[in-house]
Structure 1
Amino acid sequence: MNPEPAITLIRRYYEQALTHADWATLDAITTPAFVEHEILPSIPPTVAGLKQKYDLLRTGFPDLTFVVEDILTASDRVAVRVTVRGTHTGMFMGRPATGRTFAVTSVSIFRLEADRIVEHWGVFDQMAMLAQLGAFPGAA
């Protein structure tokens, strides 16, 4: 099985859809039955919910970027390690802008079907992000 179509699809997800808030691309590369497993409790686990989640993040971090570091493919699954970066220039989690930057690792698994994304599971290092933003005064 040629892994290139899956790799290209996942790069489009991060480098085009998420980095540029290109929701038309996100719609094109996901299925109508898409399920987002890395979601906030108040947001639906759908493509619409995913857009809502990243729109909320962009209010605090308008320059949010995603850099794909590693991609592994196996059957209908793709595992990805991504570096997420941003500058805190807007309100985030009730905290006013600090001007600080963050760079953290995110690891995800995608399930693909017919060259589209059907499901996404992810782990994002929120503690490291909050520490870099100064949320834990006195932390080493």
Structure 2
Amino acid sequence: MNSNDLKAVVARFNREVIQDGNRESFEDLMAPDFVNWSAPSETLRSAETMWKTFACVLRPAIAGMQVHIHEQLCEGDKVTTRKTISGKHVGMLAGVEATGKDISIDVIDIVRIRDGRYFEHWGVNTLAAVVAQLRQA
């Protein structure tokens, strides 16, 4: 796959999985031996745990979720993406009841692609800062 193909895989994941919540696309795009190196412990590094983060944590808490990709860089089999996940805070998020406020979570992640599927992931985001702001509201 060339760099444009690799970037397209990541863009598809962001649009279909994170933004739209499409489980079938998630299954199509995840390698069976996927590892999320950003997870806080080894037991949470699986693809299923990543799905639950989107489906059970973010999607119920953020209505009208949109993913805006600002920039993608590709080197070898890795795609780095700078993006913003945004929407309205309508449900429990990290212990904070719905505020009705618009929120934006900035994310930078690196995804290693193998055979057109997510194989490894590393990332940082501003979720903790967003939650801290919501607690002050």
TM-score by length of 1: 0.86
SS in 2 for 1:123: strand
Q: What is the aligned-residue identity percentage?
A: 24
Q: Quote the offset at 1:131 in angstroms.
A: 4.6
Change (3 A) 1:104 1:81: same
Structure ranking higher in helix proportion: 2
Amino acid at match of 1:5: D
Deviations 1:57-86 (A, max 9, x none): 222113222111101001111110011102
TM-score by length of 2: 0.88
Q: Quote the offset at 1:25 in angstroms.
A: 0.5
Structure ranking higher in strand proportion: 2
Q: After superposition, where does 1:2-13 map in structure 2 within 5 Å?
A: 2-13=2-13
Q: Where does residue 123 of structure 1 map in the other structure?
A: 124
Computing the radius of gyration from Cα coordinates, the structure with the larger value is 1
Q: Quote the offset at 1:43 in angstroms.
A: 6.6
Q: Where does residue 90 of structure 2 map in the other structure?
A: 89
Unpaired stretches in structure 2, ≥5 consecutive residues = none
- Contact 1:36 1:46 (C-alpha < 8 Å) held by counterparts: yes
CA distance in 2, matches of 1:132, 1:14: 25
- Contact 2:62 2:88 (C-alpha < 8 Å) held by counterparts: yes
Q: Alignment RMSD, CA only?
A: 2.0
CA distance in 1, matches of 2:16, 2:94: 25
Amino acid at match of 2:60: T
